[in-house]
């Protein structure tokens, strides 16, 4: 596969990383004023990042001679989990996703062996079934009105009760639980099988599919809660189960904000929401569409415009090629040196430093195994195929 095709994919991953910077250190996203520029990143950045991980996994398996040994997969997941737990223990002020990633990659292993058509069907079904199952299981696990949005920390491993809570967070109640975020991995894997990054026609189809899926997901939510009149029953459920939120400017947003965007299990009408981090079928469909369109557009730019477009995409691609390293470094900086720093200056500082630093790293270490990042290199060395 040519470098231009991978440049587009790396650039898409880089945009997702910068989107997470926007969420972590940027000013609050608002529909009015300059904050509207950040609305696109809110809730979508981790979803798109996860979808691209599935897409990349499919490409890597397509190039490999066979599946990696189980030991290599387990080691890789253990390293990601350890990184995630250690970062979370430092309390960097962000919801660290890496421990959840370990669960995703472990769960993905059986699905890498499915035929493409079967994988596509499973991925499509998971977009609806994962969020619905999460909603349905909530009351049985004490999550009817709240309790979602946690991240695992090392202290959870100190007792059986803590370990059980960690497992529950990873699967259902955490900030990025398997039930509602693993569908992004499956969708990414299916798209990685179906899309040909060497074909302009295939990339245009991928972009069109993404745009249609995004419009369908977000549009269906708007229609249901607006012209469809379903916001009324939702507000009735809020008055009944969350009376404190009734007087808020936006009662729906107030309830969602109590558990970092995730919906409660108090009314099936919550499944019609598509707000950031709501973990509903419509949000998952919309976010998946954004991820597919982003990959398609940037791969098309790298595919059709030659060296000029490649140069323009290079700073983003440099960040995307070293996404794990960049993510870990930014969390460490927030935890140790710049705790609480946020705003436009923080966003510009983190984004600029990431792009310049990654460009410099790639330039001085080109032609070496370290060129795609130190943590990426360490993972390859410790988990050989």
pLDDT of residue 4: 59
Position 252 in a domain: no
- Residue-wise DSSP of 327-377: HHHHHHHHHHTSTT--SHHHHHHHHHHHHHHHHHHHHHTTTSGGGG-HHHH
Please state the rounded mean pLDDT for residues 29-56. 85
- Residue-wise DSSP of 281-341: HHHHHHHHHHHHHHHHHHHHHHHHSHHHHHHHHHHHHHHHHTHHHHHHHHHHHHHHTSTT-
Interior/surface letters 165-177, b for 16+ CB within 10 angstroms, e for the rest: bbebbbbbbbbbb
Element (H, E) at 26: none
pLDDT of residue 295: 97
pLDDT of residue 338: 84
Is residue 33 scored above 80 in pLDDT? no
Q: What is the pLDDT of residues 94-115, one digit of tens each?
A: 899 999 999 999 999 999 999 9
Position 109 in a domain: yes
**Neighbouring residues of 337: CB distance < 8 A, sequence distance ≥ 6:** none
pLDDT of residue 305: 63
Position 21 in a domain: yes
User: What gap in Å lies between CA 263 and CA 143, rounded to an integer?
Assistant: 10
Position 226 in a domain: no
Q: What is the pLDDT of residues 66-100, one digit of tens each?
A: 677 788 899 999 999 999 999 999 887 889 999 99
Position 113 in a domain: yes
Is residue 3 scored above 60 in pLDDT? no
- Give the structural domain span for 378: 3-27+38-217+290-382
Position 61 in a domain: yes
Domain count, the chain: 1
Across 25-39, 159-173, 288-302, least confident range:
25-39
Q: How does residue 312 score in pLDDT terms, banded at 50, 70 and 90?
A: confident
Position 207 in a domain: yes
Please state the rounded mean pLDDT for residues 279-295. 97
Q: How does residue 65 score in pLDDT terms, banded at 50, 70 and 90?
A: low
Is residue 185 scored above 80 in pLDDT? yes
Angle at which helices 281-304 and 200-225 cross, to 10°: 150
pTM, two decimal places: 0.95
Mean of all residue pLDDT scores within the chain:
91
Angle, CA 315 vertex, CA 312 and CA 319 arms, to 5°: 145
Q: How does residue 63 score in pLDDT terms, banded at 50, 70 and 90?
A: confident
Q: How does residue 5 score in pLDDT terms, banded at 50, 70 and 90?
A: low
User: What gap in Å lies between CA 355 and CA 317, rounded to an integer?
Assistant: 9
Position 43 in a domain: yes
CA distances from 31 to 20, 79, 100 (A): 19, 39, 30
Is residue 304 scored above 80 in pLDDT? no
User: What gap in Å lies between CA 327 and CA 16, rounded to an integer?
Assistant: 11
Tokens describing residue 233: 């029953």
Is residue 1 scored above 70 in pLDDT? no
Counting beta carbons within 10 angstroms of the beta carbon of residue 62, is it exposed (0 to 12), middle (13 to 18) or buried (19 or more)? exposed
């Amino acid at each position: 596969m040519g470098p231009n095709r991978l440049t587009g994919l790396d650039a898409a991953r880089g945009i997702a990383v910068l989107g997470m910077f926007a969420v972590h250190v940027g000013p609050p996203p608002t529909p009015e004023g300059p904050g509207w520029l950040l609305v696109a990143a809110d809730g979508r950045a981790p979803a798109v990042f996860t979808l691209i991980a599935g897409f990349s996994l499919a490409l890597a398996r397509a190039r490999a001679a066979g599946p990696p040994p189980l030991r290599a997969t387990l080691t890789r997941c253990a390293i990601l989990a350890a990184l995630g737990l250690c970062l979370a223990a430092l309390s960097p002020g962000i919801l660290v996703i890496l421990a959840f990633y370990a669960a995703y990659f472990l769960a993905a292993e059986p699905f890498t062996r499915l035929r493409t058509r079967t994988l596509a069907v499973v991925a499509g079904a998971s977009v609806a079934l994962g969020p619905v199952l999460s909603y349905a299981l909530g009351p049985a696990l004490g999550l009817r009105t709240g309790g979602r949005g946690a991240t695992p920390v090392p202290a959870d491993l100190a007792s059986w009760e803590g370990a059980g809570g960690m497992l529950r967070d990873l699967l259902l109640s955490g900030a990025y639980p398997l039930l509602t975020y693993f569908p992004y991995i499956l969708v990414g894997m299916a798209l990685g099988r179906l899309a040909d990054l060497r074909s302009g026609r295939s990339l245009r189809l991928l972009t069109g599919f993404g745009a249609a899926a995004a419009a369908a997901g977000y549009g269906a939510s708007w229609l249901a809660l607006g012209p469809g009149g379903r916001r009324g029953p939702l507000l009735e459920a809020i008055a009944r189960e969350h009376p404190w939120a009734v007087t808020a400017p936006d009662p729906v947003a107030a309830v969602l904000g109590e558990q970092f965007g995730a919906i409660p299990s108090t009314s099936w009408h919550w499944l019609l929401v598509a707000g950031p981090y709501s973990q509903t079928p419509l949000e998952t469909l919309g976010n998946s569409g954004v991820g597919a369109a982003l990959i398609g557009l940037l791969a098309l730019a790298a595919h059709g415009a030659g060296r000029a477009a490649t140069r323009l995409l290079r700073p983003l691609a440099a960040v995307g090629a070293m996404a794990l390293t960049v993510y870990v470094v930014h969390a460490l900086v927030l935890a140790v040196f710049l705790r609480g720093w946020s705003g436009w200056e923080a966003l510009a500082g983190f984004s600029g430093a990431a792009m310049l630093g990654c460009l410099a790293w790639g330039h001085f270490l080109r032609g070496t195994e370290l060129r795609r990042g130190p943590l990426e290199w360490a993972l390859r060395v410790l988990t050989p195929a």
